[in-house]
C-alpha cells in the first residue's frame, strides 16, 4: 500500500561530469524498478542530473534547503530556487549536518516547513548515536526528533513526507542495524506519528532505513513490514550497486 522509495545520498561526491556519467549508467539499470528512485545530489550537479534524467524514472533530490525565502544567507539555497531548478525531494537534518554543521531539531522543523510550502518532498533524517542506543534512549529520541520535525504541517502534508531512520552508528561504518532493530525503531516512529496525527497518517507516511544499506542486506531489510525503502550513501555512488538495491525485489 505504501510505495517503496529508494534514494541515493551522494553526499559530497561527484562533479557535474561524473554525475552525468553515473546517471547515464544508472538509467537503463533501474528503468523497471517498482520503487520510487531518487538521487540526492550536490547542488552544483543539479542541472547536469536534471538534463540526464529526462524521460527516465529517476527523480531528483537535493541534500539541504534553507528555511528563509531569500536574504543575506551566504552559501544557502532557498526552497524556491531548488524547486525551479527541477528538484523534487530534499534531505533535511542528515546526521552529518547535525554533527558538523550545527543542525538542530528546531532548524530541521523550519527547513521542513519551507520545503513543503514550496512543493518539495522532504526526506527527514532521524536517528540515535551509539551511546544513546546503549543508554536506552533510542525510542524517546527518534519520537522527539520526528514529532518536532513535523510540527506545523497538516495531516495531508505529513502523509507525503518521507522519513529516514538512520542510526548514526550505522552510517558509513559497514555496521547495519539488524533487520529487526530497524523494523522495531521504524515502527516506533510510525506509532508516534499515528498517536499524534491519527492511524491514517501513520499508515501513509513512508519511512526508510539508512546506514550501510547495500546489495547484500537490502532484501532482508525490505522484507520487514515497517521499512518502506532506503537512504543509501556509499552504495549509491556505483551504478551496479545502487541498481541492485533499487531492484531488491527482482
Q: Which helix (H) or strand (E) holds 11?
A: none
Q: Determine if 101 is a binding residue for ligand 13P (CB under 6 A).
A: no
How do strand 162-165 and strand 36-40 relate by DSSP bridges? Answer: unpaired
Q: Is 94 a catalytic residue?
A: yes
Nearest-angstrom CA–CA distance, 225 and 94:
24
Query: Which of these is catalytic: 59, 94, 103, 226?
Result: 94
Binder among 4, 9, 19, 116 for ligand 13P (CB under 6 A): 9
**Range 75-80, long-range pairs (CB < 8 A, 24+ positions):** 77/43, 78/114, 78/118, 79/114, 79/115, 79/117, 79/118, 79/120, 80/118
Q: Which helix (H) or strand (E) holds 71?
A: none
Nearer to ligand 13P, 112 or 201 (CB): 112
Size of the site for ligand 13P (CB under 6 A): 14
Question: Using CB under 6 A as the criterion, what x/- string covers residues 144-183 for binding ligand 13P?
Answer: ----------------------x----xx-----------
Nearest-angstrom CA–CA distance, 87 and 199:
30
Q: Determine if 212 is a binding residue for ligand 13P (CB under 6 A).
A: yes
Residue 240 CA, chain-centre distance (Å), reads 20
Question: Using CB under 6 A as the criterion, what x/- string covers residues 215-244 for binding ligand 13P?
Answer: ----------------xxxxx---------
Q: How far is the CB of 94 from ligand 13P (least distance, A)?
A: 6
Q: Footprint of ligand 13P on this chain (CB under 6 A)?
A: 9, 94, 166, 171-172, 210-213, 231-235
Q: Which residues are catalytic?
A: 94, 166
Amino acid at each position: 500500500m505504501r510505495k517503496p522509495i529508494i534514494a541515493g545520498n551522494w553526499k559530497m561526491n561527484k562533479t557535474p561530469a561524473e554525475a552525468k556519467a553515473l546517471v547515464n549508467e544508472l538509467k537503463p539499470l533501474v528503468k523497471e524498478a517498482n520503487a520510487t528512485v531518487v538521487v540526492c545530489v550536490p547542488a552544483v550537479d543539479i542541472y547536469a542530473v536534471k538534463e540526464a534524467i529526462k524521460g527516465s524514472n529517476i527523480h531528483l533530490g537535493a541534500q539541504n534547503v534553507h528555511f528563509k525565502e531569500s536574504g543575506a544567507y551566504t552559501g544557502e539555497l532557498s526552497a524556491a530556487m531548488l524547486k525551479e531548478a527541477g528538484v523534487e525531494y530534499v534531505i533535511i537534518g542528515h546526521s552529518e549536518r547535525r554533527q558538523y554543521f550545527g543542525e538542530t531539531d528546531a532548524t530541521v522543523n523550519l527547513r521542513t516547513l519551507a520545503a513543503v510550502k514550496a512543493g518539495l518532498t522532504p526526506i527527514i533524517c532521524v536517528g540515535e548515536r551509539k551511546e544513546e542506543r546503549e543508554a536506552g534512549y533510542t525510542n524517546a529520541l527518534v519520537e522527539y526528533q520526528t514529532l518536532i520535525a513535523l510540527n506545523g504541517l497538516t495531516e495531508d502534508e505529513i502523509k507525503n513526507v518521507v522519513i529516514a531512520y538512520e542510526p548514526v552508528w550505522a552510517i558509513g561504518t559497514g555496521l547495519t542495524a539488524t533487520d529487526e532493530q530497524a523494523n522495531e525503531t521504524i515502527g516506533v516512529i510510525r506509532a508516534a506519528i499515528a498517536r499524534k496525527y491519527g492511524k491514517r497518517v501513520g499508515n501513509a507516511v513512508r519511512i526508510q532505513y539508512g546506514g550501510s544499506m547495500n546489495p547484500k542486506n537490502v532484501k532482508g531489510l525490505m522484507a520487514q513490514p515497517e521499512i518502506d525503502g532506503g537512504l543509501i550513501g556509499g552504495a549509491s555512488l556505483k551504478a551496479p550497486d545502487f541498481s541492485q538495491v533499487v531492484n531488491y525485489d527482482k
